[in-house]
Amino acid sequence: MTAGPPRDALHVLSQSFGFATFRPGQERVIAALLDGHDVLAVMPTGAGKSMCYQIPALMRPGTAIVVSPLVALMKDQVAALRLNGIAAETINSSLSRDENVAAWRRVRDGRVKLLYLSPERLMTDQMLAAIARLGPSLIAVDEAHCISQWGPAFRPEYAALERLRGLFPDLPIAALTATADPITRDDIVDKLFGGPAEMVVTGFDRPNLMLAVDMKQNWKRQMVDFVESRRGKPGLVYCLSRKKTEQAAALLREHGHRAMSYHAGMHSEERAAVQDRFMTEPGTVIAATIAFGMGIDKPDIRYVLHTDLPASPEAYYQEIGRAGRDGEPADTLMLYGLDDIRMRRIFIEEEDSTPARKRREHKRLDALLAYCEAVECRRRMLLQYFGEAIEPCGRCDLCLDPVETIDATEDGRKVLSAVYRTGQRWGAAHIVNVLLGKHTDKTASAGHERLPTFGVGADRTLQEWNAMIRQLVASGFLGIDIKGYGGLGLTDRGLALLKGKVGFRFRPDTVGKRVARKRRAAEIALPPGSADLLQRLKELRLQLARERGVPAYVIFSDKSLIDMAARRPTNSREFAKVFGVGQAKLDAFADSFLMAIGEFDAAN
């Protein structure tokens, strides 16, 4: 295992970024890159992935090359680095030729520590040759799941990055993502590194996110109720179609919310304007397709609502991960119905891909449905999919408001027996046929009609057995072999159920019976009398951000402003102790915020 980074790294963290300690996993990634090793870092959104390559970039000689998928994301990251006094540039299509040429000259002259590029621009022969002459310090690939065809956002242009290891054989490469199941992780390592690499997986849990799922009844009413209970807070409403985003935004505006739609069918200028308003205007709600999100680094999104079933657990995890990046409580709610499932199956079948990929996507969808139909701790079910085990969280809808279940231990054992006796390699459809006693070509050719479990489930319907299998998966009694053919297999917990050591409770079909819950994220705790000061500091932050043409969080995060309001610093020495205040921000902003705090205290 790589040792921790030198003390110099902690000094850079404090001086450049204003943080006193590293977050979990950061030290290992930084140490690996400083030692010249390749590393894949899988960390939850908000865990500080960018710092993992930014600090080595500041400590190693030369310019670090950062590969990023979206222009908006690159521009925000460069703006944030510059405000911390770090020389960073981006060369991209949104800039004029003169601006790009000037940026490259600064890079060529050795005045830049981090250069952000899209994969398309980086992988041109001209740019690769120019960078080779530079002698870069490292290469960092952000949103690295895009390189994997099994990832939730595979982008063909990322595939060209496979050439990097051959072109720069001695250069450390970092791949960073928040969304990668074990299959995707292996695929990234194989494609990007082509050999051994350090893998740092810090866990997928986002404990500040409240997880909830409801059956879709009247999505418009459910959406309005959910957003209304969070009035004045910034949020995202994900919809499956462009038309639905426009309907949702219009309906929310009718109810007095500042709401806008966002989808790929809009002109780029319209999309940029919507994004800018969302980043700068408080309490804005965006109704969007999945075209909106990856490039958005807004830390104070307080909720994410899905009006339709997402494509997979990875896509769902990535989309809800846009909420609560500041670490404060945030709510999520997913609505799903039978028609959603049908549409998702159609999308998979109509995709221009191989049968193997379609099979895997169907199994990923099965895993998401198992999450939707979970009977206990929803968070545990989601994390189990990513290979992480936790105890019941006490903070999801099923922990806080358990659903009605019935004892179905014997039926559960019937399912497990059928899975076990058929060799633990068949999918749910075949297992259900065995339980129902249906004679098919597969049951006949496999000899499964002679098994004692053949036909033992004739007293239940096909739909009931399918739901039971999903819930057995959701509860951790069965696992799905997504990497193979989607066969079901018994887990250790499943073996315990089969042996009669534990029980199983089944949630009967409740379509149309559950009511959408209204959950409100907990308010940020502040010292008495500090709420008005915090609002004044937010107004100042917004003013400074508009003057500089950057999102408000780039100036200071909410966490920094809360710490500021609590400490009430009166001089530069005290201001330097505020969370997130490095030397550059101390020089740039201390006077403005100290004046605002002094004026507030004098008036109150």
Tell me what the pLDDT averaged over the chain comes to: 88
pLDDT, residue 142, reads 92
Q: How many domains does the chain have?
A: 4
* Pair 132, 22 in one domain: yes
pLDDT tens-place string over residues 244-299: 999 999 999 999 999 999 988 888 788 878 888 888 888 999 999 886 765 566 88
Q: Is residue 344 part of a domain?
A: yes
* Pair 383, 267 in one domain: yes
pLDDT tens-place string over residues 424-450: 999 889 999 999 999 999 999 999 999
Distance CA 142, CA 159 (A): 14
Q: Is residue 30 part of a domain?
A: yes
Q: Is residue 147 part of a domain?
A: yes
pLDDT, residue 510, reads 43
- Pick the more confident residue, 539 or 181: 539
Question: Cα angle vertex 556, ends 598, 327, to 5°?
Answer: 115
Beta-bridged to residue 330, according to DSSP, are 209
* Pair 192, 328 in one domain: no
Contacts of 261 (CB under 8 A, 6+ apart): 242, 245, 246, 248, 249, 274, 286, 287, 288
* Pair 239, 327 in one domain: yes
Domain boundary residue among 368, 400, 432?
Answer: 400
Helix ranges (H only) for 397-530 are 397-400, 409-421, 428-436, 441-445, 462-474, 492-498
pLDDT, residue 587, reads 92
Q: How many CB atoms lie within 10 A of CB 423?
A: 11
* Pair 172, 241 in one domain: no
The band of 544, judged by pLDDT with boundaries at 50, 70 and 90, is very high
Averaged pLDDT for residues 78-94 = 92
Residue span of the structural domain in which 145 resides = 7-201
Does the predicted TM-score (pTM) go above 0.95? no
pLDDT, residue 480, reads 77
Domain boundary residue among 506, 522, 553?
Answer: 506
Q: Is residue 180 part of a domain?
A: yes
The band of 476, judged by pLDDT with boundaries at 50, 70 and 90, is confident
Instruction: Pick the range with the lowest mean pLDDT from 44-53, 84-93, 150-159.
Output: 150-159
Q: Tell whether the model's pLDDT for residue 383 goes beyond 70.
A: yes
* Pair 384, 474 in one domain: no
* CATH number of residue 370's parent domain: 3.40.50.300
Two tokens, residue 397? 């809808």
pLDDT, residue 375, reads 81
Q: Tell whether the model's pLDDT for residue 141 goes beyond 80.
A: yes
- Pick the more confident residue, 367 or 104: 104
* Pair 322, 434 in one domain: no
pLDDT tens-place string over residues 527-538: 677 888 998 998
* CATH number of residue 433's parent domain: 1.10.10.10
Two tokens, residue 51? 């710092």
Percent above pLDDT 90 for the chain: 55
* Pair 99, 40 in one domain: yes
Q: Is residue 523 part of a domain?
A: no
Q: Is residue 518 part of a domain?
A: no
For 500, phi then psi, to 5°, come to 80, 15
pLDDT, residue 5, reads 58
Instruction: Pick the range with the lowest mean pLDDT from 8-12, 40-44, 346-350, 586-590.
Output: 346-350
Nearest CA among 599, 596, 529, 514 for reference residue 556: 596
DSSP 135-162: --S-EEESSGGGG-TTSTT--GGGGGGG
Q: Tell whether the model's pLDDT for residue 364 goes beyond 70.
A: yes
Nearest CA among 498, 417, 409 for reference residue 454: 417
The band of 517, judged by pLDDT with boundaries at 50, 70 and 90, is very low
* Pair 326, 222 in one domain: yes
Instruction: Please provide the size of the chain in residues.
Output: 604
CA 123 remoteness from chain centre: 26
pLDDT tens-place string over residues 396-420: 998 888 877 889 999 999 999 999 9
Q: Tell whether the model's pLDDT for residue 89 goes beyond 70.
A: yes
pLDDT tens-place string over residues 190-246: 999 988 889 999 888 889 999 999 888 899 999 999 999 999 999 999 999 999 999
Domain boundary residue among 164, 180, 201?
Answer: 201
* Pair 464, 589 in one domain: no
* Pair 21, 125 in one domain: yes
* CATH number of residue 575's parent domain: 1.10.150.80
pLDDT, residue 483, reads 63
Instruction: Pick the range with the lowest mean pLDDT from 86-90, 93-97, 154-158, 592-596.
Output: 154-158
* Pair 262, 386 in one domain: yes
Q: Tell whether the model's pLDDT for residue 519 goes beyond 80.
A: no
pLDDT, residue 309, reads 93
Q: Is residue 512 part of a domain?
A: no
pLDDT, residue 518, reads 37
| Helix axis angle, 409-421 to 428-436, nearest 10° | 110
Q: Tell whether the model's pLDDT for residue 1 goes beyond 50.
A: no
Nearest CA among 455, 451, 387 for reference residue 420: 451
Q: Is residue 426 part of a domain?
A: yes
Contacts of 332 (CB under 8 A, 6+ apart): 209, 210, 211, 212, 303, 304, 305, 306, 320, 323
pLDDT, residue 449, reads 95
